[in-house]
A and B are shown apart, each in its own frame.
Chain A
Amino acid sequence: MTSLSKPKIAFFDFAGCEGCQLTVIDALQTDIDLLNVVEIVQFREAMSEKGDDYTIAFIEGSYTRFSDKERLIAIRDQAEIVIALGACAHLSGINAIRNLQSTAEVRRYVYGDHAEHFDVSLAKPISAVIHVDAFIPGCPIDRQEFVRAVKALLQGNLPDIPDYPVCVECKLKENSCLFWYGKTCQGPITRAGCGALCPSLGTGCVGCRGLIPSPNISSFKQLMSEHGTSEAGIEAKLKLFMTHEILKSEASGDGN
C-alpha cells in the first residue's frame, strides 16, 4: 500500500457493558501496530478527543431507546463503513431478553415511579435501524478477529467472519465433546470464530456469537432434550444471546 493517509476510525457505544470496547483497548496493547495504520478520532472509553471526520465507525451496544435512532443515523451519514461491534450491536444480545415481556412493564419494573421519564423501546440490533456493512460477533468480541477485521478493512475488503458452527473449531482442536460428559453446549448451532473458547475450557457454548445462517433448531432442541434439558431450560439457553434471532425465525415460521 502506498503512503495514503491513515483511515480515521471512531468507536461509539449504545446499550452494552462496554466490554467489547475494552477488548479493543486490549488489542491496541497486544497489536500496537494498529495505531500505525489507523487514526482513532473518537473513542470515549479510551480518550477525551472527539473528532467527527471518521470514515469507519465501530458501534458497540444495542438500540434500546427511540432517541438512539437519530444518533445512529448521524453516524451512518458520516461513515463510509459501519461495523457492528459485539453481540449487543450485532444481535441485540442479552438486551433483547426484555423483548419477551411487554416494554411498558419492563419500563415500570426498572424505573418505578419515574418510568414515564425514560425513553424505552424494544431492544434491537443496530442493523434494524441503519444499514450495517459488517459485524464482529461475540460477547465480548475476539481480539484477534478484531485485528483481522481491521486489516481486511484496510485492504478494502469486509471482514471474513466464519459462518460455520463452533463444533468445527472444537473438533479441530481435538477437544472431547462436552455432550459425552453429561454437559450441554450450543456449539452445534453457534457461529464459530472464538476458537471454541468456552468448550475448550470445559464449559458449554452459550451462543454469544449468534446462530449460524441455517441452524437446525428443531434437531438441536431434540438433542438438548435427550441430554436432560427441560423445555424451559432449552428456551432459556437459546434466548440468552439469541432472543432476537429466535423470535425472528419463529415469526417467519421456520426453525421450529
Chain B
Amino acid sequence: MSLKILPKRGLSDWVSRLITEYRVVGPKLMKDQYIFGDIHSADDLALDYSTTILPPKKILLPQRETLIQFDTASSSQPIEPFIETQATIILGVHTCDMHAISLLDQIFLEGFPDQHYLARRKNITLVSIECLRSCSEHSFCKSMGTLSVPETFDLHLTDLGNSYALETGSKKGSALLWSMSAVRDPTNGDYRQLQKVMSEKWQSFNYRLVFDITELPSLLALSYDNTLWDEIGDRCLGCGACTIVCPTCYCFNVIDEVDFSLHRGARSRVWDSCQLDRFATVAGGHNFRVNRSDRQRHRFFRKGKYQMEAYGLVGCVGCGRCAQSCLVHISPVEVFNELYRRQSPITSLEQEVTT
C-alpha cells in the first residue's frame, strides 16, 4: 500500500486528465437524486453524494446487453459472440457497493467465468471512497460489516477536508496517478488527519441490527415458517423495485430478437427479478413461488443465508436502497429484527402468558 495526497484544488485537473483516456463514471445529480452517470468534468462529479437510485452494478452488468449476434441462414458462422468494452473508471464507489462488487465478481468469475462480465470487469478501474457519515436513513452498513473497504479497490479516496488521501490497491489504481502534478507524498500532519477522520467516522453510524450478523443465516433457517412472510406478502406490491436497485441482485433473463429477415438477430441479457410472477415459472406452466410471501421470503433467504453459504459473503450489504424504493415500507433491517424478536425467548414467554 502506498499513500498519496491529492489537494482538492487538483481534483478538477485530475478528472480532466482521466477523461482523455477513460470513460469516467461517477455519482452525479439528476434532478434531486444521485445516479452513476458519465462524468465529463469535475463539476459533474458529486463525491459527497448520499446514495444512488441504481448501484454501480449497472456498469458491470448493464440493464440490457447483447451477448451474441446470429444469422441462422449463414452456413459459415451462424453465431458470433458480441463483446464490447471500453476502459472505464468508476469513481466514488461507497464501501457497501464495493462489497457488492466483490460478491458479483465471485458469482460471475469463479468456476465458469461469464465472458461478458469478465471482459467488462477487466477493463474497469474501481475508485472507492471512504464513507464518513451515514448516507441514508435506510442504510445499515455498520451492522452488515460493509463500512470498511474490501481489498478489491484499485484506488481508495478518503476526504481529509482540504485534500483526499489516495490509497493505491493495484497497478490499475496507480496508473491513474500518472503525471499528476498535484499529488504529493503525505506529511506527518496528513497521517494525523487521516487517523483522526478514520477514528471519528464510526460514531457517525449506528448499529441497526439488534443481533450480530453472524447469527443471520441460522436465524433465517429457524424462520422459514414464520408468519411474518405472510404479513409481508400481504403488503408487497410485487413491483420488483427492491431487486432492481439491489447491488447484489444479478438474476437475468435472456431474449432473442430478430430483424425483418427473421434469421438475423441478437441475443440479449436483461435484468430479471425473483419478485415477478413469471420468474419461477417453468415449462409446463408450474410456478414454484406463486405467492408474494414466498417470493419475498426467497429474496431474504438469498440475501441473508443462501449467498453466505454459497460464497461466504453476505448477500445484503446494507445499502438501504431497497428500503428506500419500497413503497410499502418493507425494509431488510426491520424484517431481520422482527424475525429475531419473534424467535427470542421473550416472545416465547409472551406467547406462554397469552395462551
Contact = CB atoms under 8 A, between A and B. Distances in A.
B20 to A, nearest CB: 27
Nearest to B257: A148
Given A160-B255, A172-B244, 8 more contacts: A1-B262, A151-B262, A163-B278, A168-B273, A176-B33, A188-B238, A212-B238, A216-B234
B150 interface: no
Could you say which of B30, B63, B237, B257 has the most chain A C-beta atoms within 10 Å of its C-beta? B237
Contact of A212 (B30, B259, B277): B277
Interface string B52-69: 011000100001000000
Nearest to A154: B262
Contact of A33 (B33, B238, B244, B260): B260
Contacts of B255: 160
A160 B63 CA distance: 19
Contact of A189 (B237, B262, B328): B237
A91 interface: no
Contact of B244 (A148, A168, A189, A213): A168
A170 to B, nearest CB: 8
Contact of B54 (A174, A179, A189, A215): A174
Interface string A36-54: 1100000000000000000
Nearest to B290: A214
B239 A165 contact: yes
A9 B263 CA distance: 21
B103 interface: no
A50 B31 CA distance: 52
Nearest to A170: B241
B213 interface: no
Interface string A212-246: 11111011101100000000000000000000000
Contacts of A222: 328
B238 A36 contact: no
Question: 5 smallest A-B Cβ distances: which pairs?
Answer: A167-B239, A33-B260, A188-B237, A171-B244, A164-B276
Nearest to A220: B237
Interface of A: 1, 31, 33-34, 36-37, 148, 151, 154-155, 160, 163-165, 167-168, 171-172, 174-177, 179, 187-189, 212-216, 218-220, 222-223
B292 interface: yes
A193 to B, nearest CB: 13
Nearest to A164: B276
Given A176-B53, A212-B277, A187 B260 contact: no
A234 B305 CA distance: 39
Could you say which of B32, B35, B244, B278 has the most chain A C-beta atoms within 10 Å of its C-beta? B244
Contact of B277 (A160, A164, A187): A164
B137 to A, nearest CB: 13
Interface string B185-225: 00000000000000000000000000000000000000000
A219 B235 CA distance: 5
B254 to A, nearest CB: 12
Given A1-B262, A34-B260, A171-B244, A177 B239 contact: no
B245 interface: yes
20 contacts: A1-B263, A36-B260, A37-B262, A164-B240, A164-B273, A164-B278, A167-B240, A168-B244, A171-B53, A171-B241, A171-B325, A174-B53, A174-B54, A188-B238, A188-B239, A188-B327, A214-B277, A216-B292, A220-B237, A223-B237
Nearest to A35: B260
A218 B234 CA distance: 9
A168 B53 contact: no
Interface in B219-256: 234-241, 244-245, 255
